[in-house]
């Protein structure tokens, strides 16, 4: 996936888990505009960040809206019971869904999300305050939560406090770099 501009997002390539935000599992050989829950095109939103895991994708849009598509086999999409039931009832398991944050400051927009990252089967989101949230597979402790159990909703990595400023190359500040089940934190 590649955000072509802040108002347009396109996807192409392998799509066997529906990770391209197209609502299907067709492999796509050329860029196509992605679809968000409710049938909205990404062009209707301001796209802030996109990240890809092995079988899932996460897209951060304005107003703290976080969407996921693809496999949820390790809870990496944080799909709500409501979304699971709707997708099952309509026989559309590959439809993109919106992540519902349990953290009240993020949910109300007081602590805006500014970046996302994915491992193979887990997801992270960075808030403006410097807090990092993680969810999904955790068999190697990759969520940073102090245990090895998968988590199906965004949970704050409390050991990091509010030190993180970005998930990629940044200057100055802290750095978290994701690759499969490995993370590096530099401050």
Q: Is 108 left (phi over 0), alpha (psi -120 to 50) or beta?
A: alpha
Would you say domain 2-186 falls under CATH 3.60.15.10? Answer: no
User: CA–CA separation, 177 vs 100, rounded Å?
Assistant: 24
- DSSP class of residue 41 equals B
Domain boundaries, the chain: 2-186
Segment 127-169, tens digit of pLDDT: 999 999 999 999 999 899 999 999 999 999 998 888 777 665 3
- Share of residues in the chain with pLDDT > 70 (%): 72
Segment 61-103, tens digit of pLDDT: 888 889 988 888 888 888 766 766 766 666 556 678 889 888 9
C-alpha distances out from residue 137 to 9, 74, 170, 180, Å:
27, 5, 27, 10
User: CA–CA separation, 52 vs 76, rounded Å?
Assistant: 11
Q: Is 58 helix (H, G, I), strand (E, B) or coil?
A: strand
Q: Is 84 exposed, middle or buried (0-12, 13-18, 19+ CB in 10 A)?
A: middle
């Amino acid at each position: 996936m590649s955000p072509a501009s802040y108002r347009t997002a396109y996807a192409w390539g392998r799509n066997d888990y529906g990770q391209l935000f197209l609502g299907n599992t067709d492999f796509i050989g050329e860029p196509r505009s992605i679809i968000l829950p409710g049938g909205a095109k990404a062009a209707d939103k301001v796209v802030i960040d996109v990240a890809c895991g092995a079988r899932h994708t996460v897209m951060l849009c304005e107003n703290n809206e976080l969407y996921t598509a693809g496999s949820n086999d390790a809870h990496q999409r944080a799909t709500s019971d409501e979304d699971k039931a709707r997708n099952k009832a309509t026989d559309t398991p590959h439809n993109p869904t919106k992540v519902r944050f349990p953290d009240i400051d993020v949910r109300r927009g007081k602590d805006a999300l500014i970046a996302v990252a994915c491992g193979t089967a887990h997801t992270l989101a960075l808030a403006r305050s410097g807090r990092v949230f993680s969810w999904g597979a955790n068999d190697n402790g990759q969520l940073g939560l102090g245990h090895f159990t998968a988590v199906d909703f965004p949970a704050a990595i409390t050991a990091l406090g509010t030190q993180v400023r970005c998930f990629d190359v940044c200057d100055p500040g802290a750095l978290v770099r994701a690759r499969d089940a490995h993370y590096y934190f530099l401050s």
